[in-house]
Structure 1
Amino acid sequence: MARAWTTYDWIKLLGTILLLILLFFCISRPGSAAIAPTLTTPAPGTLQGPTVDLSGTGTPGGFIQLLLNGNKVGVPVRIGSDGRWALPGFNFGAPGNYTLTLQPVNARGTSLGPGTDLSFTVPAPAGNLQISEPASGAQVPAGTFQLRGVGTPGEELEVFEDNTSLGRVTVNPDGTWTLAVPPPMAGEHTYEVRGASATTSIQVTVAAAARTAADCTKDFTLSFSNGQTVARPFRFGGEGAGQGYTVTVKRGERIVGSRDVPLDATCGWSYRSDPGPGPITYEVRPIGAPPSDPPLQTINLTVR
């Protein structure tokens, strides 16, 4: 004979039903969607200086990892319960272009989804002419190398190697400039950059090139651009392929000189000239090419 249900049995049944209902809602309830992190200040673009106060929004109680040009900066930043976050005194670094990424992460720094990329430019201080690379006193490998620095945007600079002009370069809108130095001789050299109101210089030691000849297949390059006004003497060159290049010098349509410049062991070439003042033209062809062949490049200069 079946036992009659007691009050205790009904209480147990009701408790089981309530527990099942609670489990159902816990399992079927969707998780809260993460809010994509945003930056409120500063606005993307050109900054007033390298150090700024960052602030923005995100998932309340969550974390944001900052990355600068793909590299993590510091530890994850905690987002407040109101969905706001702040990081005062953030430093971008030297003048240049940067990508700041706001990456949503958990407390352990594990990514929770795609980040938000923002572009910024740190301008060079006006009148602050510098050579940033290579450092003064450094040793650089044989062959072409890059001189890099900062200056006033739009300013025209002339670069010298031991008082020999390497040509002119214009400072970019972001305050940076770059000049390719054609292969110098081994040893110590002074590189000087002269602007309208400032001058700066460094000393660099260039390593000796290997004695073995290289099988050169590099693209042809020429360090000077057409139309420059340069001081005398000056030096230009670059890299290339084959045996080297023939440089033909012209005053108007009259040929005043020609010289073969073989490639060195780094596949580089360099031509130094000290002509009189006035307009002058240089044509560059592969060694052995007939003078009637179109030149690889022609540069028209004004020598002062």
Structure 2
Amino acid sequence: MASSFASVREAAAQLAGAQQYPAATLYLVSTPIGNLADISLRALHVLGLVDAVACEDTRVSGQLLNHLGLHKPLLSLHQHNEMQAAQTVLQRLQQGQRVAYVSDAGTPAISDPGAHLVAAVRAAGLRVLPLPGASSVVTALSVAGDAQSQGFHFVGFLPPKGAQRLQAVQALANQPSAQVLFEAPHRMAELARQLADVLPQHTVTVCRELTKQFESVHTLAAEALPQWLAQDHQRERGEFVVVVHAKAPEAPQSGLPEAALRVLQVLLRELPLKQASSLASELTGAPRKALYQQALDWKDSGSPSSEPADLG
């Protein structure tokens, strides 16, 4: 396996080598979240360039480096020793070394260790450079297809139990942005029940084992999530990223027949509001004033006349 990466490392050096990689710098390197092929060529180049690799778990990162045909000193830096281990990294940087930091998977310091290390390095007046790459948060958002969302909020893991957990679920309601959660397999059924109870009409996208062999992505209403999960116990296995979609805007309460609204929608594509309302009234028998008011509401809400609120 190591020899098969030799040509890949050469390609990485050609493509990424022109960039400057200063000494005495901490490099935050994103690693694959499941599929080794997602390692970037620039990450491969930098991991070969640095003097040492600080990592969340030396066993996990050692295996990754072996796959890539690389052999580097590994420095253990995880959530329980980050403050102390940061001093070891600082000593190496102050000696002019390049040090990479990697978490077990994905982008460092996103629900993983790394933030304290970055703060310590910057406080010492030394450089920190990021290498973009895999992130389960962004991967899940891209496949959720939440067109209503106004940005997103990364929640991460909810409190494990009790009132704090329920309060955290309740806080997800009525948000204009998508909410991205992580969940462990042994708590996924509980999360499904809580989302169904608190946010039954919200849409959720459940991503399991992203980029891995048994990857699955399923989008459904939160109220249907417990039953869907219980239909196949394999669905409760693996690592989960759950996107709670933004609350959908409520349909207009005009009281007008759906058919009249659809006719008005079509006419508004070509005609001014007043003319479209009058003609829609003649064609459907719906009140002209009510149709005109609906057309004004669509205009004021910023909905294009060709795509007003969902009428179906």
TM-score (norm 2): 0.30
* Higher strand proportion: 1
Pair member with larger Rg:
1
TM-score (norm 1): 0.31
